[in-house]
Chains A and B, each alone.
Chain A
Amino acid sequence: MEGDEIMAKTIEEKQYLVRFRCDTKSHLEVKDENVCLTSCPDKDCTIFCPADVYKWEGDRMHVGFEGCHECGSCRIGCPYDNIKWEYPKGGHGIVFRLA
Chain B
Amino acid sequence: MGDRFDVIVVGAGPAGTSCAYTAAKSGLNVLLIERGEYPGSKNVMGGILYRKQMEEIIPEFWKEAPLERPVVEQRFWFMDRESMVTSSYKGLEWGREPYNNFTVLRAKFDQWFASKAVEQGALLINETVVTECIVEDGRVVGVRTDRPDGDVYADVVVLADGVNSLLGKSLGFHKEWKPDEVALTVMEVMNLPKKTINERFNVEDNQGVSIEIFGDSTQGLLGTAFLYTNKDSLNIGVGTTLSGMIKKKLKPYHLLEYVKTHPMVKPYLEGGETAEYLAHLIPEGGYKSVPRLVGDGVVIVGDAAQFVNAIHREGSNMAMSSGKMAAEAIVRAKEIGDFTERTLDHYRKELYRSFVGKDLKKYKDVTHTFEDHPQYMADYIPMLNKAANKFFTVDGSPKKQKQSDIIKGFTKDKGKITVARDLIRAWKVMK
Contact = CB atoms under 8 A, between A and B. Distances in A.
A71 B280 contact: yes
Interface residues of A, number: 41
Nearest to B254: A11
B242 A48 contact: yes
Contact of A48 (B250, B275, B277): B250
Contacts of B388: none
A91 interface: yes
Interface string A31-51: 000000000001010011011
Nearest to B46: A99
Contacts of B320: none
Interface stretch (B116-124, B266-274, B361-369): B266-274
B328 to A, nearest CB: 29
Contacts of A95: 36-37, 41
A7 to B, nearest CB: 6
Interface in A52-81: 69-73, 75-77, 81
Interface in B170-187: 176-179, 182, 184, 186-187
Contact of B41 (A72, A75, A77, A96): A96
A87 B166 contact: yes
Contacts, number: 141
A17 B253 CA distance: 14
Q: Looking at chain B, what size class is its interface with the partner chain?
A: 35 or more
B308 to A, nearest CB: 15
A96 B279 contact: no
Given A14-B274, A50-B253, A99-B187, 10 more contacts: A7-B273, A47-B250, A72-B281, A76-B179, A88-B129, A90-B35, A94-B42, A96-B40, A96-B276, A98-B105
3 A-B pairs closest in CB distance: A91-B127, A50-B279, A14-B277
28 contacts: A3-B271, A7-B260, A7-B272, A14-B253, A17-B275, A17-B277, A18-B277, A47-B250, A48-B246, A48-B252, A71-B184, A72-B182, A73-B182, A73-B279, A76-B179, A76-B182, A85-B164, A87-B166, A88-B129, A90-B35, A90-B128, A90-B129, A91-B35, A95-B41, A96-B41, A96-B276, A97-B41, A99-B44
